Chain A
Amino acid sequence: EAQVTQNPRYLITVTGKKLTVTCSQNMNHEYMSWYRQDPGLGLRQIYYSMNVEVTDKGDVPEGYKVSRKEKRNFPLILESPSPNQTSLYFCASSLGRGANTGELFFGEGSRLTVL
């Protein structure tokens, strides 16, 4: 089954404690991206990756890091989380280019609370 898998789904942590949210897709997609969803703001892009070892900042990258060492994995790293990073996070993947661009496949989300 084609899917994007995120872990953990729920996490409560404290300010400054490093954490990683993993994302894996099994569709051989080149493009992967992280979004955060906050009430009334829709989805905002944090980082994206067009292919292995190719990553770039989205609209709200501050406080986040990513890596793309393998095609299927795209972890999101919060080196020193702060309360304003409390949010619902989504990983998504896509073919990236061509007619199907825009057809994003989303994970089920990771709800992060930073105390």
Chain B
Amino acid sequence: AQSVTQLDSHVSVSEGTPVLLRCNYSSSYSPSLFWYVQHPNKGLQLLLKYTSAATLVKGINGFEAEFKKSETSFHLTKPSAHMSDAAEYFCVVRLLSGSARQLTFGSGTQLTVLP
């Protein structure tokens, strides 16, 4: 069984300040983890993925995430927020050996960036 919890439904930051979006997972086996971003009126887009290689994963638009097995976490960070980062972000978990069918989505975190 697997599940994913996004700890904040809404996060608000000022432009130029760091972003932290928190995600904790539960999985019986080694997981693969993903972050997706959804801009207004758009479909979801893959931001980055962890699939058992380096624990610090870099994605598009300056985002990165660190897989911490001891904390069962996969938090998404960015050093400096930009107005264009305002979107909803989804953390997703899958068994490392699983198929696309077995993705489990978090409930999402809405990121607001203030000028």
- Interface residues of chain A, those whose CB is within 8 Å of chain B, are 4, 31, 33, 35, 40-45, 48, 50, 56, 58, 90, 92, 94-97, 99, 101-104, 106-109
Contacts and interface: CB of A to CB of B under 8 A. Distances in A.
Chain B interface size, under 10 / 10 to 19 / 20 to 34 / 35 or more: 20 to 34
B112 to A, nearest CB: 16
Interface string B25-64: 0000000101010000111111001010000000000000
Given A43-B90, A101-B100, 8 more contacts: A33-B100, A35-B105, A44-B105, A56-B101, A101-B98, A102-B51, A104-B36, A106-B44
B43 A102 contact: no
A104 B99 contact: no
Q: Determine the main DSSP class of B at the interface with A.
A: mixed
A107 B43 contact: yes
Contacts of B90: 42-43
A73 B56 CA distance: 37
A102 B103 contact: yes
7 contacts: A31-B99, A43-B105, A95-B100, A102-B51, A102-B92, A103-B34, A104-B46
A108 B100 contact: no
B80 interface: no
B99 A96 contact: yes
A99 B74 CA distance: 19
B99 A50 contact: yes
A95 B100 CA distance: 8
Contacts of A44: 105
Given A43-B90, A97-B99, A102 B32 contact: yes
A33 B101 contact: yes
Contacts of A41: 107
B103 A104 contact: yes
B100 A106 contact: no
